[in-house]
Amino acid sequence: RKEVEQDPGPFNVPEGATVAFNCTYSNSASQSFFWYRQDCRKEPKLLMSVYSSGNEDGRFTAQLNRASQYISLLIRDSKLSDSATYLCVGPSGGSYIPTFGRGTSLIVHP
Amino acid sequence: DTEVTQTPKHLVMGMTNKKSLKCEQHMGHRAMYWYKQKAKKPPELMFVYSYEKLSINESVPSRFSPECPNSSLLNLHLHALQPEDSALYLCASSLAGEENIQYFGAGTRLSVL
């Protein structure tokens, strides 16, 4: 079983919509998670960290649910420029090196 | 703009060629990474260097040979590649101890004919 699993989508939403993605993880001891964003044919870029207390940055909110072992990313008031693949990143078991989820594709249309 | 610079941006090579990919960062990061990414897949870790020493090799075939000449530079030497090695090769760096926060270069798009 992969350490970190995501629904690949795509999620097709209209501008202005609120959309949420989840990412499940298998290692219950994992403490730190991150969301990265990757635009088409570009490199991944760090979007935000995920804390159990929640982390909000403008229209983006990330949360960690330890009981159910998933992290979430909520995007409010979607913009066309939010169209990208969102990669969930968590620690791999027994290693300090992070493992990437397969990514969730978001398409925001007019 | 990325602070990790990769060259070349594009590379086409034959199966008998030898080529090298280069990566440079000046952020003082002491951990550097090579990833391979195929279309619609996540980045797949190949190698990790920590303080200029190879610390992780994810069972990568020997036709890929990494090198870290100094703390700012990372190379990936390619020899006798196969067409299935065609992919986007990404370099990344991080502070040692903050491996989850990686800065990626724009990548080298490699085609093996």
Rg (CA), chain A: 13
Cα(B96)–Cα(B4) distance, integer angstroms = 16
Confidence at residue B2, expressed as pLDDT on a 0 to 100 scale: 60
CA angle A39, A45, A47 (to 5 degrees): 100
The pair of structure tokens assigned to B90 is 């990404």
Stretch A30-37: mean pLDDT = 88
- Chain A residues with CB-CB distance to B107 below 8 A: 43
Confidence at residue A2, expressed as pLDDT on a 0 to 100 scale: 66
Tell me how far CA of residue A91 lies from CA of A3, A27, A99, in angstroms.
8, 8, 6
Cα(A2)–Cα(A7) distance, integer angstroms = 13
The more confidently predicted of residues A92 and B87 is: B87
pLDDT string in tens for chain B (113-residue length): 569 999 999 999 999 999 999 999 999 999 999 999 999 899 999 999 999 999 989 899 999 999 999 999 999 999 999 999 999 999 999 998 888 889 999 999 999 99
Confidence at residue B6, expressed as pLDDT on a 0 to 100 scale: 98
Q: State how far residue A6 is from chain B, nearest Cα, in angstroms.
A: 11
- Chain A residues with CB-CB distance to B56 below 8 A: 95, 97
Cα(A77)–Cα(B113) distance, integer angstroms = 45
Cα(B112)–Cα(A110) distance, integer angstroms = 39
- What residues in chain B have their Cβ under 8 A from chain A's Cβ atoms? 2, 40-43, 45, 48, 56, 90, 99-107
The percentage of chain A sitting over the pLDDT mark of 70, rounded to a whole number, equals 94
Confidence of residue A92 (pLDDT cuts 50, 70, 90): low
Q: Residue A108 pLDDT more than 90?
A: yes
Report which secondary-structure segment, H or E, holds B28. Answer: none
Q: Residue A52 pLDDT more than 90?
A: no
Write out pLDDT tens, residues A12-30: 999 999 999 999 988 777 7
Confidence at residue B97, expressed as pLDDT on a 0 to 100 scale: 83
